Chain A
């Protein structure tokens, strides 16, 4: 009996587990999934919690519900991974698991301690994150009673999970305060280490225009050095200072602590991974999925989803001693909530930046690429259903894994 071990039951781990369980012969393979959380969080939902659109309980479901039948689920933190001897040690009971194949899908987490002063006096008082269940809930409670002032959104360092989320947050904030009738008492500032609103030129220009239209000030090239909680200001390394009444931080993102403990990651504890095959660069029987890898694609559920198809084919080929022919193209696809019941949509990969057009049916849509529409917004809200009932149950979603140029407009 051989062991196929999956670490992490988030989007990537669960998706791979449900798909590979249909492919591996049950007489030959035992599938084990290890996950430290009891609940599976629908992470895109965290963005909606501070504004009361979702309640915290709308963002999670029990993990076990999505573990394929026949697979063993172990609820434990992983202590160490030792790929040299194909061994993983769990925290729970110090259990040792020897594996034949390993999939690491341990994700990325925020590390507020990496920024000087971020965890000082103001944390969770007038400084919040919305990347954690408790952070988004605490921010929601704060916003209910806030009377206005200067709200500063800050991104500490790239890469971050879901690079459009801080933009969506500030667009939602603009809408939320307008509805509350206090938009004239709120100043919105978006401070980013990037040179503009987004990483790719055309999307950055479109989103930059939206920022201006919504009276949101962009403080670009702002590399945060420290937070002064006493004075309520943030500083940049090049000597700039931004005062705030409320700061919404996207802290430094890093791979899971187990990657750090096991010394198998880069400086940010992301695992060196072949960007085409999704195989670990150092160990042939190890594949890395989702945010845990260092591939130059967005850390986003869409990438986890699209790359899993490639990884699945390559893992099966490798097990059968065949050449791995599938190549991931870095395909990402993100709805960007822009407020007022509308959203934009971007579709891009390693080589092609987001372009205007229609998706998924060329010329028809119904989604509009790089433009605002009501249907895009419903697409984003509807995706939660698709996520739980289709995707996480291992059914195929009728969207191609690879980027298609059809329906996209070049200049």
Chain B
């Protein structure tokens, strides 16, 4: 089913959506499933914040920014999005790969 939802969408080489406006909640669930993540309410707090921040600034938020402005703390972020929470949260939220650090 996940493949159905994603089949019509375009992704970059690293699996980030090309067009963030084509994103919806079903897409998020499918993208998360590909990463082995089943979305819970706590994931949605983070995803919603990522979408809101992107709409305002044009960039995915940093981890520091997420933990400062939501009640999700860093440790929990790593549990929700194991490995690289910044990149994974952006990916599931349909955003471009975070430009991050230099």
Taking Cβ atoms with an 8 Å cutoff, the residues of A that contact B are 157-159, 163, 194-195, 199, 221, 223, 225, 237-238, 266-268, 296-299, 332
How far, in whole Å, are A225 and B74 apart by their CA atoms in the complex? 8
Q: Are A221 and B83 in contact (CB under 8 A)?
A: yes
How far, in whole Å, are A238 and B75 apart by their CA atoms in the complex? 8
Is B101 an interface residue when CB atoms closer than 8 A count as contact? Answer: yes
Q: Are A158 and B75 in contact (CB under 8 A)?
A: no
Min CB–CB distance A345 → chain B (angstroms): 17
The contact of A199 among B82, B83, B101, by CB within 8 Å, is B101
Q: Are A221 and B101 in contact (CB under 8 A)?
A: no
- Residues of A close to B8: CB separation below 8 A: none
Selected interface stretch from B31-39, B40-48, B60-68 = B60-68
Known pairs A158-B100, A195-B84, A296-B99; list 17 more (Cβ under 8 Å): A158-B101, A158-B102, A159-B101, A159-B102, A199-B100, A199-B101, A199-B102, A223-B78, A225-B74, A237-B77, A238-B82, A266-B65, A267-B68, A268-B64, A296-B102, A298-B102, A332-B102
What 7 A-B pairs come out closest when comparing CB atoms? A158-B101, A237-B78, A267-B64, A298-B102, A159-B101, A267-B65, A238-B78
Contact size class for B? 10 to 19
Bitwise, B87-101 to A at CB < 8 A (1) or not (0) is 000000000000111
Q: Which residue of A lies closest to B61 (CB)?
A: A267
- Residues of B close to A157: CB separation below 8 A: 64
The contact of A297 among B64, B77, B100, B102, by CB within 8 Å, is B102
How far, in whole Å, are A148 and B98 apart by their CA atoms in the complex? 40
Q: Are B102 and A238 in contact (CB under 8 A)?
A: no
Min CB–CB distance B74 → chain A (angstroms): 6
- Residues of A close to B74: CB separation below 8 A: 223, 225, 237
The contact of A225 among B62, B75, B83, B101, by CB within 8 Å, is B75
How far, in whole Å, are A32 and B31 apart by their CA atoms in the complex? 55
Q: Are A221 and B84 in contact (CB under 8 A)?
A: yes
Q: Which residue of A lies closest to B77 (CB)?
A: A237
A221-B83, A267-B65, A267-B68 are contacts. A237–B75 as well, Cβ < 8 Å? yes
User: Which residues of B from 66 to 81 have beta carbons under 8 Å from A?
Assistant: 68, 74-75, 77-78
- Residues of A close to B64: CB separation below 8 A: 157, 267-268
The contact of B83 among A158, A159, A238, by CB within 8 Å, is A238
How far, in whole Å, are A344 and B45 apart by their CA atoms in the complex? 45
